[in-house]
């Protein structure tokens, strides 16, 4: 049985302990987090490791990400995958 969420109506929160500038809707499960958040230009996060995998869908602008030793920049329409427990920053 599923549960439906309307992200426009979900409580907006800051991105967590390490992403103080990302703000928006977020739903957290045992092994996955789904959110729709915005981050101001030129704001990022320090290197962290999460217990959950992450998918970042870039809707507007660009996002530079460093995952392990790999660094790349995605643009609107790109999707970034970050495996669980991978050290990363954005």
Please state the domain extents for the chain: 12-89
The model's pLDDT over 54-64, given as tens digits with 9 standing for 90+, comes to 888 888 888 88
The model's pLDDT over 38-78, given as tens digits with 9 standing for 90+, comes to 777 776 677 778 787 888 888 888 888 899 999 988 899 99
Query: What is the rounded CA–CA span in Å between residue 49 and residue 38?
Result: 20
Q: Is the dihedral of CA 74, 63, 41, 76 positive or negative?
A: positive
Verdict on whether the full-model pTM lies above 0.75? no
Tell me the fold of 12-89. Jelly Rolls (2.60.120)
């Amino acid at each position: 049985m599923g549960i439906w969420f309307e992200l426009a109506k979900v409580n907006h929160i800051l991105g967590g302990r390490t992403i103080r500038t990302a703000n928006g809707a977020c739903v957290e499960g045992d092994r996955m987090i789904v959110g729709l958040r915005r981050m101001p230009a030129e704001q990022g996060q320090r290197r962290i490791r999460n217990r959950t995998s992450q998918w970042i869908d870039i809707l507007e602008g660009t996002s530079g990400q460093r995952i392990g030793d790999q660094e790349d920049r995605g643009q609107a329409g790109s999707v970034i995958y970050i495996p669980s427990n991978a050290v990363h920053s954005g």
